[in-house]
Structure 1
């Protein structure tokens, strides 16, 4: 599937979400409670982008141009007028233009980036896939919830990039890579460095 344009709300965070990944969030600010309500009513998604400057609360933050479109897979009401949601990443996008509403919610025109095609994992990366499997077993739900695909370099690379203790700027660069084999190769080097430091 090629690229296409969408108009979506953005949720800038101090974290990076990858396609296929899941992320639990607690929603308490009015702008995001309203956004989540709109998304649930219209069965639509929103974008998560890594914050470049600013904070998650208060005035709208500036953010990196490449983010991930996500959908709400689970929600529940929490005490103190909060919502607990779990989102799942779908497609990477690039922000073309954005504007901030009076309530400090950011809306953006985005271009969906091409989906990464399934790519068989190379023998050199099998150990990385096995390490990922052990990590997900330790974490449990919702992280190890199917679908899992330890034979796909794109899926393995995205999960490792989410879970490894890497600087956020490094994770953002890995998200921006369009070649799943290059992403996994770079993560293989990170795994080897972590093993050497351990």
Structure 2
């Protein structure tokens, strides 16, 4: 994987996750326009230190593991404002990163293998069932598909997909979300999610 542009955020994007963004900084407007023109993705990484909006003399520290973001829909609201809807693709690990003069981060990265398609183990079936109930509840409330916090297809039988959706939904610290993103065993990630849900009384 060659050098990619990065979008540091105070959030963690997971594979197959949904990420709506409002773009107004010049560095990211230019980046998004280039990605749309060349049909390329960009990298989303969590910020350990610093703000999403650039400030003078601010130092930004990035997490080492991020996720490629694919622009599915976009709309230019004003000359200096764009709305984009992105979906998470493959994870990556930053090898080297450099911030350019105008503020955009570029990084050489190495890809992390996609989760193996592993069925949800019987011991964690309650985690998948709870997610299925949540999706059904949102559908019954008439929430449009495009506004759902998780996007179809709903792969409730896959350990990695179920774990990732709960990682997005649960109130976890950025550090916890980042550790779960970096976990390469989807079943272990699901087990860790189950532990959190039990701890918070979300499962019996």
TM over 0.5: same fold? yes
Mapping for residues 104-143 of structure 1, pairs under 5 Å: 104-137=103-136, 138=138, 140=143, 141-142=145-146, 143=149
> What residue number does 2:160 align with?
154
Deviation at 1:184, TM superposition (A): 0.3
Residue of structure 2 in register with 1:195 after alignment: 201
Distance 1:89 1:196 in 2: 26
> Does residue 1:40 correspond to 2:26, yes or no?
no
Q: CA deviation at 1:6?
A: 2.3
In structure 2, the residue matched to 1:99 is 98
**Structure 2 unpaired stretches of 5+:** none
TM (norm. structure 2) is 0.89
CA contact (8 A) 1:97 1:110 kept: yes
Which stretches of structure 1, 4 residues or longer, exceed 2 Å deviation after superposition? 133-145
The alignment's TM-score, normalised by the length of structure 1, stands at 0.92
Residues 65, 94 of structure 2: 8 Å contact kept: yes
Displacement, 1:144?
Answer: 4.1
Gaps of 5+ in 1: none
What root-mean-square deviation, in Å, do the aligned CA atoms of Structure 1 and Structure 2 show?
1.7
The question of whether the paired residues in 2 share the 8 Å contact of 1:149 and 1:156 is answered with yes
Residues 177-188 of structure 1: matches in 2 within 5 Å?
177-188=183-194
* Paired residues for 1:8-47 under 5 Å: 8-47=4-43
Other-structure match for 2:51: 55
Aligned length in residues: 193
2: CA distance, partners of 1:70 / 1:136: 23
